[in-house]
Amino acid sequence: MAQIIDGKKIAANVKAEVRAEVEKLRAAGKNPGLAVVLVGNNPASRVYVSNKEKDCAECGFRSYEYALPEETTEAELLELIDRLNADSSVNGILVQLPLPKQICEQTVLHAISPAKDVDAFHPENVGRIMIGDFQFLPCTPAGVIEMLDASGIEIAGKHCVVIGRSNIVGKPMAMLLLHRSGTVTICHSRTKDLAAQTRQADILVAAVGKAGFVTADMVKEGAVVIDVGMNRDAAGKLCGDVCYEEVAAKASAITPVPGGVGPMTRAILMRNTLTAARNAAE
């Protein structure tokens, strides 16, 4: 049976480290803060925002929530972002996605100051990740790397296969694995004979967004399987992209859903906010 990579435990360690550093900043008269902007009343987004507020409290950050109505215009949201960019008490700005259809996500994300872009979505930060000269790392991919490191799993020289090519997970995940000297294959909906590709993976990262997409016949014996998916099955139960039970019987290590990558994403957000606060204090 596979080693279960405990994201909750690793995330707790990351947040404890962040809290210790935040206490040093506060002792020096700095009070770091994270602003979270929520537009509309998407129930899942509401849960995510509430969890981020709890993380801020746990790590010692001030938390500023801006809950805007569904009918908020793009201009109104951009005006708020301009104010937050100029506010020295706010070190990090996070706009919860998805946004209502009348607002262009790209325009909004590009409006956030790169120095406060704790999601690492701004083109400047994306470019820095590409060349390896970064301040912030995208939260989910960086959380995956942290989990591998904490579990003693070597990346260098391994064949790493990423299923999914989104800007938020797939592409940056591949880049971070490449920075760590992994040999990387990116698979997607147009990949021919997907299973033949995934069976070559020493480290397989599933970021598809389809419940139970990865089955045991797609996994090499002894592979490390990282499940980034966050889905609901037919019974409404939270599940990942991987058929957990059957793949766990074949893998050497695997992340559960829930309790795997999810907590790590939020922990890295706290680390990015700390980085932004340190940079502002210099």
Is 96 among the catalytic positions? yes
Catalytic residue among 15, 55, 96, 227: 96
Catalytic residue among 15, 52, 158, 171: 52
DSSP string, the chain: -PEE--HHHHHHHHHHHHHHHHHHHHHTT---EEEEEEES--HHHHHHHHHHHHHHHHHT-EEEEEEE-TT--HHHHHHHHHHHHH-TT--EEEEPSSPPTTS-HHHHHHHS-GGGBTT--SHHHHHHHHHT--S---HHHHHHHHHHHHTT---TT-EEEEE---TTTHHHHHHHHHHTT-EEEEE-TT-TTHHHHHTT-SEEEE----TT-B-GGGS-TT-EEEE---EE-TTS-EE-SB-HHHHHTT-SEE--SSSSHHHHHHHHHHHHHHHHHHHHH-
Structure tokens at 265: 């994403």
Is 119 among the catalytic positions? yes
Catalytic residue among 55, 117, 119, 241: 119
Is 193 among the catalytic positions? no
* Beta pairing class for 231-232 and 238-239: antiparallel
Positions annotated as catalytic residues are: 52, 96, 119
